[in-house]
Amino acid sequence: MRAIWKGSISFGLVNIPIALYPATRREELKFRLLRATDHSPVNYKRVAQKDGKEVPWDQIVKGYEYEKGKFVVLNEKDFQRVDLEATQTVDIQDFVDIEDIDPMFFYKPYYLEPQKGGDKAYVLLREALADGKKVGIAKVVIKTRQYLAGVKALKKALVLELMHFAEELADVEKLNVPKQAEPGKKEMDMARALVNSMTSKWDPQKYHDDYRDALMEVIEEKVEAGGKEIEEKPKKAPAPTKVIDLVAVLQESLNKAHGGRKRTSAKSAAKKTHRHHAKKAA
C-alpha cells in the first residue's frame, strides 16, 4: 500500500512524522459507454458550449462564475497566493470528548503510520486519546484543499478522519419531520421490545453488498451466454399492506423476530451436534 500524503501531526510543541494511507476500499463495478451497433467504446470530449468545438487541454483554464454567465479566470499564481500555512502538517487545534461530536461530521477515514523517529510520540498521543476518549480536532491541507479532520485512537493505530465543516451540513430544521407525536404506552412498550429482540453484538463481517454480488451474477451469466439476453426469473411482488393498527403490526414483527431467533438457535444446535458426532467418529 502506497502513502498518499506525508507530513506530521503537530500539537503544542510535539511533532510526529507520519504517512497517510486510505483506511477504506470501494470496489465499484466500472462500466464503459459503448456504441450499440459494434460495442466500440465511446470517449468523452471537451466541447465548448458556445460553438460545440473540441477544446485541447492547453487551451483550458479554470474560471469561477461570480454572476450568471460571467466568469473570472484563476491561474496557478492566483492559487499560490492563497496563504495556507503548514500544508504538510495535521495541525491539532483542540481536543474534545468524542461523545460530544455528532457522527454526521465524520465521513472519510485514513490510517496514520509513524515515520522514522516518531514511534514514541505516536504511542504517547494514541494512548492519551484512548484513555481520555478524546478526538484531536485539526486542519490539514491535502493536495489543493483544506479539510477539517479528527485524529482518533483505533486499536493500535491513529486514524485521521476527514470531517465536514459546520456550513457543509444541511439544516435538519428545514425538513418536514414530526416535531412531537405522542405514541400510546402499549405501542411504545412493543416498539422497545422489538428493538431489544433484534439487538445483537456488532459484527461488520455479517453485512455484505448484496446488490454488487447480484449484479456480478448477472454479468457472469451474460458472459457465459455470449452476451445474449438472459430470461428474467419471475419475482414475487410484495403484498400491499395497510398500516391501520400499529400495535398489530408491532406484534407481528415481534413474532417474526422471535421465530427467526429460534430458527437460528436450532441451526446452531444442529451444527454443534454434527461437529460432536464427527469428532466421535474420528
Contacts of 153 (CB under 8 A, 6+ apart): 126, 127, 129, 130, 159
Is 22's pLDDT higher than 80?
A: yes
How many other CB atoms sit within 10 Å of the CB of residue 147? 18
Average pLDDT over residues 234-260: 68
- Mean pLDDT of the residues in the chain: 80
Q: Is the pTM of this model over 0.75?
A: no
Average pLDDT over residues 71-83: 78
The grid coordinates of residue 198 equal 433484534
Judged by average pLDDT, the poorest of 6-10, 104-108, 133-137, 240-244 is 240-244
82-101 residue pLDDT tens: 755 546 788 899 999 999 99
124 sits in which H/E element: helix 119-132
> What CA–CA distances, in Å, run from 21 to 29, 104, 158?
23, 22, 11
Candidates 232, 253, 99, 128; CA nearest to 187 is 253
What domains can be seen in the chain, in order of their start residue? Answer: 5-24+83-168 (2.40.290.10)
Q: Is the dihedral of CA 269, 271, 277, 282 positive or negative?
A: negative
Q: Contact at 8 Å (CB) between 21 and 3? A: yes
162-202 residue pLDDT tens: 999 998 888 877 777 777 767 778 888 888 888 888 888 88
117-133 residue pLDDT tens: 999 999 999 999 999 99
Residue 251 burial (C-beta neighbours within 10 Å; 0-12, 13-18, 19+): middle
Q: Rounded to an integer, what distance in angstroms lies between the CA atom of residue 139 and that of residue 135?
A: 13
Q: How confident is the model at residue 279 (pLDDT cuts 50, 70, 90)?
A: very low
